[in-house]
Structure 1
Amino acid sequence: MPLPIVAIIGRPNVGKSTLVNRLAGVQEAIVYDTPGVTRDRTYKPAFWADRDFLVVDTGGLIFDDDTEFLPYIREQAMLALSEASAAIMVVDGQEGPTASDLEIAQWLRQQHSVPVFLAVNKCESPDQGLIQAAQFWELGLGEPYAVSGIHGNGTGELLDELVSHLPPPEAIEEPEEIRVAIVGRPNVGKSSLLNAFVGENRAIVSPVSGTTRDAIDMLVERDDKRYRLIDTAGIRKKKNVDYGPEFFGINRAFKAIRRADVVLLVIDAIDGVTEQDQKLAGRIEEDGRACVVVVNKWDAVDKDSHTIYEYDRTIGSKLYFMEWAKRIYTSAMTGQRVPNILDLVDQAVAEHRRRVSTSVVNEVLEEAVGWHTPPTTRQGRQGRIYYGTQVTARPPTFALFVNDPKLFGESYRRYIEKQFRQNLGFEGSPIRLLWRGKKMRDLERQSANRATKV
């Protein structure tokens, strides 16, 4: 049974995202004093009394204007309301009732689908708040609650009334979620890919770059597995980004990478791998995330029987440092191979979380050293690998205990990593090799002995 949803509705710049942050107890929704910052509907978990629920933030509603993204924003707000158990209409207490507020209130009254609560935001003064809220009785939505999204004033009374209209809590055993971040440059088809997964217009899709401003989460279930798909803002070069909504959106995208189990790096098949794609791939590898490279818009490429092999060689040469990531050629527009992406996600997650016994690790090391011994310095010193063990997963990380890490150059370290790849796999996941010297090994043994005595 999914959590009940509470839709946050209102005109632009009344503080909807600020109130969402307050109700969810986080500072994630982008807040900026410009209309249209929130465009898609974004979900945040919230809790009050004994009820868990989701708060869905929506874009500012304007009914008499069809320019830019406004029709899409209205569509997203209507979709949010259609799946909600309750709605909160947010108005600006400092500005008072406007014609747009009256129009939205009338529209909400016509829906007859869910209970609607009126939150009069920006009532920072408790004394003045009641006077400010009283002006909004004329909207015909019942009692107006004077609240402050910034300071939290009055939100408790609003939530007390809200949760009484939500379905009662039930003991639910939730399956583990696999977090999948969808990242890439603007206009490579990230939102279209999300919509193809979900089967509805979950995110606004537009040929105008920068349509997605915030990171958007969506749950998809398949074969008793749950995937949290995170659509993110298109990431441009830093020098081209001004401080403002795009700046915040890109920061959210980087956070989405860090909290993901797997990252889908979406590349435009027409443009190929750009310098910005390479930088994004480098960031994914540095953060230790599993990755699947999704080459989108494959339907738009003129191809013959050799095209995919040529593309694969070109992409492999430009993403040579991420040769461990599997690649798939898709079309979000036609749905070509989109379902197969989750199969690769499952494989990447399994490898990212896999552990290998110490005995197997040392068998690989023994064979690798047998084929290619560590180099010897001019002074006659040669590197020695005593043993290795896996110390953690996500990503798989191995500690190699040696006589002196300085005796192992970069080429030999790459050789050992290549042997790990060939013998242990870990396809779809980065791996880490930690080279630890004899002194470090002795210190760790001493620490272990002290812990045993205690």
Structure 2
Amino acid sequence: MAKPVVAIVGRPNVGKSTLFNKLIGTRLSIVDDKPGVTRDRIYGDCEWLNHHFLLVDTGGIEPYSNDVILKQMRTQAELAIETADVIILVTDIRSGVLASDMEVASMLQKSNKPVVLCVNKCDTVGTPDPEFYEFYNLGLGDPIAVSSTHGHGTGDLLDEVISYFPEDYEDEENDEEVINVAIIGKPNVGKSSLVNKISGTNRAIVSNIAGTTRDTTDTYIENNYGKFNFIDTAGLRRKSKINDNIEKYSIIRARMAVERANVCVIMIDATEGFTEQDSKVAGIALEQGKACIIAVNKWDAVEKDGKTMKEFRDKLAVDFSFMSYAPVIFISAQTGLRIDKLYEMIVFVHSQNSMRISTGKLNEVLSIATARVQPPTDKGKRLKIYYMTQASTRPPTFVFFVNNKELFHFSYQRYLENQIRDIFGLDGTPVRFMIRERNEGKK
């Protein structure tokens, strides 16, 4: 089951982003040079008392008038209602309860979603100021006094948030035989059409299950290829009025679907070709180490000659250079072209993502590779790789024990990755390297 989603909402300048950063802590420091990872990150992983959840900051509003404030607050609250499992409404004790607070509180009450009322900027420890009790008028239950700057009250706030999580959400048993497949891509690329074609043409056991998030639909398929749960992130543009925020929230929903998946099918529109949004969506799957397939949809609508597929494939190799391991398949969700092949490919890349290689075999390859191309040197010092082992799967993660981490340059890591892939395959999956100095931890 996906982690619960907790959204922070509130009017401008009440301290939403400060609270977000305080709750996320050091996890906010994420490498941002990968596709799909933007500097304007409005979500992050959060943990409290062994409960893991996705925290979403709905900040970034810059109003110009009271009317704009109310309009954008409504939009913000609608997004939170649609996306979140629990909502934190942040208010400001210094300004008291304003009309915009009342409006959003009313909307949240009607949503039937759990709402935790946070009264921010209560910087004095102890008995809150008399103004604190005014916030009971919002009708959202007991307010919680918090100082997002100093961290006071954040524990009480999180205690209340996690009290609304299902007791068994992290303990739910998963059928290891079922491959969870996220169908991701920009709007109108044919994600739902693919799921409909799959569920309608495969004489299978089909059932529609309400997804864990508000914007995904799960479709279970059992056929000759195996057991599959297709996660469709359809309907991302339902609220067309959400103009500026729509892409950010589309990315959040795609991220939640990817998190649940074993395999990601990244759908590209053959009639449009590669776009920046395709790169962002693929970046999410890369970031989370998922097995991936690039499915070029609407191939039946493309005028073709003998070179069309090769030219398209060559261009994708450049566009998806950061994901060169992902196989490409040309399909039509409308006609069912190569859908059977897609099943085979899903099973294959899942097995590659789950592959475990013995330490003995890995070090045989390492010995041959280092003899063929000597490890790099710097100022008279040469890199020595003592041995390597596989630490985990999904994705395959390898640990190298060396004399000096600084000498293990990226280019040589890439060389060794290519050698490992040449021998063991690992098609359709990223691999990760962890570099350890042999005496690390013994000082």
Residue aligning to 1:319: 320
Counterparts of 2:321 and 2:111, CA distance in 1: 52
Counterparts of 1:227 and 1:323, CA distance in 2: 25
Residue aligning to 2:338: 337
Counterparts of 2:420 and 2:359, CA distance in 1: 13
Shift of 1:246: 7.2
Contact 2:298 2:332 in 1 (8 A): yes
Name the aligned partner's letter for residue 434 of structure 1. Answer: M
Counterparts of 1:423 and 1:288, CA distance in 2: 21
Counterparts of 2:435 and 2:187, CA distance in 1: 39
* Correspondence 1:431 to 2:427: no
Shift of 1:250: 4.0
TM-score (norm 2): 0.56
Residue aligning to 1:381: 381
Deviation per residue, 1:55-114 (Å, 9 max, x gap): xxxxxxxxxxxxxxxxxxxxxxxxxxxxxxxxxxxxxxx9xxxxxxxxxxxxxxxxxxxx
Residue aligning to 2:190: 189
Where do residues 90-239 of structure 1 align in structure 2 (5 Å cutoff)? 176-199=177-200, 214-223=215-224, 225-233=226-234
Q: Helix, strand or coil: the match of 2:181?
A: strand
Name the aligned partner's letter for residue 316 of structure 1. Answer: A
Residue aligning to 1:252: 253
Q: Helix, strand or coil: the match of 1:334?
A: coil
Would the alpha carbon gap of residues 271 and 224 (structure 1) be closer, same or farther in structure 2, given more than 3 Å must change? closer
Would the alpha carbon gap of residues 335 and 33 (structure 1) be closer, same or farther in structure 2, given more than 3 Å must change? farther
Q: Helix, strand or coil: the match of 1:434?
A: strand
Contact 1:180 1:229 in 2 (8 A): yes
Shift of 1:235: 7.0
Counterparts of 1:121 and 1:380, CA distance in 2: 67
Contact 1:396 1:431 in 2 (8 A): yes
Give the greater-gyration-radius structure (CA).
Answer: 1
Would the alpha carbon gap of residues 315 and 245 (structure 1) be closer, same or farther in structure 2, given more than 3 Å must change? closer
RMSD between superposed Cα atoms in Å: 4.0
Q: Helix, strand or coil: the match of 1:390?
A: strand
Name the aligned partner's letter for residue 427 of structure 2. Answer: E
Contact 1:195 1:202 in 2 (8 A): no
Name the aligned partner's letter for residue 279 of structure 2. Answer: Q
Shift of 1:280: 1.9
Unaligned runs of 5+ in 1: 1-26, 39-43, 45-93, 95-119, 125-149, 152-172, 204-211, 447-454
Q: Helix, strand or coil: the match of 1:199?
A: helix
Residue aligning to 1:302: 303
Residue aligning to 2:373: 372
Shift of 1:252: 2.5
Residue aligning to 1:285: 286
* Correspondence 1:417 to 2:417: yes
Q: Helix, strand or coil: the match of 1:439?
A: coil
Deviation per residue, 1:302-349 (Å, 9 max, x gap): 111111111111101111121111110001111111121111000011
Contact 1:294 1:327 in 2 (8 A): yes
Q: Helix, strand or coil: the match of 1:314?
A: helix
Name the aligned partner's letter for residue 278 of structure 2. Answer: D
Shift of 1:234: 7.0
Counterparts of 2:236 and 2:413, CA distance in 1: 32
Contact 2:251 2:281 in 1 (8 A): no
Counterparts of 1:347 and 1:396, CA distance in 2: 15
Counterparts of 1:422 and 1:174, CA distance in 2: 32
Displaced runs of 4 or more, over 6 A: 200-203, 243-246
Deviation per residue, 1:18-50 (Å, 9 max, x gap): xxxxxxxxx99xxx989xx99xxxxx9xxxxxx
Counterparts of 1:258 and 1:301, CA distance in 2: 33
Name the aligned partner's letter for residue 185 of structure 1. Answer: K
Would the alpha carbon gap of residues 244 and 382 (structure 1) be closer, same or farther in structure 2, given more than 3 Å must change? closer
Unaligned runs of 5+ in 2: 1-52, 55-72, 80-84, 86-105, 115-139, 142-173
Residue aligning to 2:390: 390
Shift of 1:187: 1.1
Shift of 1:354: 1.0
